[in-house]
Amino acid sequence: MYFFSQCCTKDPGTITKLNNEVFLGVYPYDQVMFYQGVLCPTCVLVKPARSKHCRVCNVCVHRFDHHCVWVNNCIGAFNTKYFLLYLMTLSAMAADIAVLTIGLLLHLVLQSNLMSAAYVDEEGHQQPVGLFFYLFLTFPRIVFMLGFLMFLFLLLLGYSFFHLYLAVTNQTANEWYKRKSHGCQHCNPSPLQQQSHTSLHNFYSRGTFRNLKEILKPITKNEKKGR
């Protein structure tokens, strides 16, 4: 709940006239996705590298990741860490409740000796009770909740790993999507022919440890970037 509230209330990095100058000095322009001197027509401000105008919030956001409808806020430089931790704790919570529910059902099965339970059919023969069928008929809501929780857990785990991958490789979801949808044809290799596509695709990466540090402690203008 703490990480969720932080995601909802923390300023993701709104760019205003007052702080525009500061954000302009944080990241260099890669000349592939972000070009120098591009003006946001709505905010009428020069776009800093890695920023994007959010159509929902109607502001430009520093190190824009995406607009999350779940937390009703943009995910940007200053709340990415909370979003990542929120996803991870939510996955852990879903797994925890699923394990507790399985434990409860298992306890019930062992207590009632359901494994060896049988019923007599119309012809008088003893038939073994289908365990899952029995549990579903007896506790439909609990079994349905367990199935839903397992599905939710896998979904959240996948999404958590995706955002962890983005954090480790120093990409935003916006940049990842742009690279994915435009492919290499979007890369303008002529002025940057010396650089391989790999280095272009990892333009902002500074190594795993530093990339993670950047998520936890976003870069400010005065910090030495080490590049």
Residues known to be catalytic: 68
Rounded distance between C-alpha atoms, residue 170 and residue 218, angstroms:
11
- Of the candidates 56, 102, 129, 216, which one interacts with Zn ion according to CB under 5 A? 56
Name the residue nearer to Zn ion (CB basis): 7 or 74. 74
Per rule CB under 5 A, is residue 163 in the interface with Zn ion? no
Closest among 160, 147, 166 to 92, alpha carbons compared: 160
Single out the segment in contact with Zn ion by CB under 5 A; choices: 47-55, 84-92, 94-102, 180-188: 47-55
Q: Minimum distance from CB of 103 to Zn ion (Å)?
A: 41
Rounded distance between C-alpha atoms, residue 20 and residue 61, angstroms:
10
Per rule CB under 5 A, is residue 5 in the interface with Zn ion? no
Per rule CB under 5 A, is residue 42 in the interface with Zn ion? yes
CA angle (12 as vertex; 173, 5 as ends), nearest 5: 100
Per rule CB under 5 A, is residue 225 in the interface with Zn ion? no
Per rule CB under 5 A, is residue 24 in the interface with Zn ion? no
SS (H, E, C) 129-198: CCHHHHHHHHCHHHHHHHHHHHHHHHHHHHHHHHHHHHHHCCCCHHHHHHHHHHCHHHCCCCCCCCCCHH
Per rule CB under 5 A, is residue 173 in the interface with Zn ion? no
Closest among 224, 222, 217 to 78, alpha carbons compared: 217
Per rule CB under 5 A, is residue 143 in the interface with Zn ion? no
- Of the candidates 19, 29, 31, 53, which one interacts with Zn ion according to CB under 5 A? 53
Tell me, residue by residue from 62 to 91, as one string, x for binding to Zn ion by CB under 5 A and - for no binding. Answer: -----x------x-----------------
C-alpha separations of 82 from 9, 74, 78, 153 in Å: 11, 12, 8, 19
Give the count of residues interacting with Zn ion (CB under 5 A): 10
Single out the segment in contact with Zn ion by CB under 5 A; choices: 51-59, 140-148, 163-171, 177-185: 51-59
Per rule CB under 5 A, is residue 215 in the interface with Zn ion? no
- Of the candidates 32, 43, 87, 105, which one interacts with Zn ion according to CB under 5 A? 43
Angle in degrees, 0-180, between the axes of helices 140-168 and 131-138, rounded to the nearest 10: 100
Interface ranges with Zn ion (CB under 5 A): 40, 42-43, 53-54, 56-57, 60, 67, 74
